[in-house]
Amino acid sequence: MNDTSIPDLVQQGLAAARVGDIEDARRLLQDATRQTPDNIAAWLGLAGVVESLAEKEACFNKVLALDPDNSEAKAGLVRVQQKLGYQPAGPPQEPVSEPDPGLTYCYRHPQTQTGLRCNRCNRPICPKCARRTPVGFRCPDCIREQEEKYYSGGNLDYVIAAAIALPLSLLAAALFTFVLNRFGFFTIIIGLFVAPAVAGFIAEAVRWGVGRRRSRYLSRVVAGCVILGAAPFLLILLLAGNFFALLAPGIFVFLGTATVLARLR
């Protein structure tokens, strides 16, 4: 395993500890300390999952050897030594009420204690905020920042998309309502093939219209246009009591929105 994967290994170990999988947490954190003996976060996390007080003491001593001013290790060592029945030499350390070793508070939920950290910005995050990615846990802000780089479109693209998708959707819904319904029972079979193809054409027309730029809500805007385009025809048929005729435009709406959401995501 290369060095770049060590932060992920530590985060996964801390996550396992938080959900109660102590054995897996111990294994992951021990692997991290073996591969990078100077990893303070790994030693602090390991101190929280090893079984014996002697092992905890060794972990805290290792942290203090690497960072003599580490407050979490000092507080943890005081607690361990008190349980072992003796007081450490030197001036009194931080009070016992300090957070558990390896734990801090989520930056989005200050009342929630956590041992997880975003592997990009290193801010503490609780399990509710943590987003699992192929490279480890990340916070919502870092996820959004990466998405913003991916989405290159602007608000004007939504206007262009609506201007293209709505007229095409109205035309397609009209064809489904007044043409496809003439095929009787075969309406279902034909609609299952034609609806995704027509919606795919609308999606590609929008993609061309916005210069192939990506926008966060582009697929939803186009899907909304598909629904709006079919809505007048569905309403007319519903008021006329022609319930069987609702089938064709209904297929267009159902399969059309699914296709658009898949093609423009």
* pLDDT per residue as tens digits for the range 145-204: 776 666 777 889 999 999 999 999 999 999 999 998 888 888 889 989 999 999 999 999
Q: What is the mean pLDDT of the chain?
A: 83
The CATH 1.25.40.10 portion of the chain extends over: 3-149
pLDDT (0 to 100) of residue 147: 67
Token output for 48: 């929280």
Residue type, 235: L
**Bigger pLDDT: 27 or 258?**
258
Token output for 207: 């993609």
Confirm if 90 and 116 have CB atoms less than 8 A apart.
no
Three-state SS across 53-84? HHHHHHHHHHHHHHCCCCHHHHHHHHHHHHHH
Crossing angle for the helix pair 71-84 and 53-66, to the nearest 10 degrees = 150
Residue 131: phi and psi, rounded to 5, are: -115, 120
**Mean pLDDT in residue range 107-126:** 83
Residue type, 117: R
Contacts of 246 (CB under 8 A, 6+ apart): 234, 237, 238
**C-alpha–C-alpha distance, residues 217 and 179, integer Å:** 32
Superfamily grouping for domain 3-149: Tetratricopeptide repeat domain (1.25.40.10)
* DSSP-derived 3-state class of residue 88: coil
Q: For residue 79, give the nearest of 59, 106, 105, 107 by alpha carbon.
A: 59
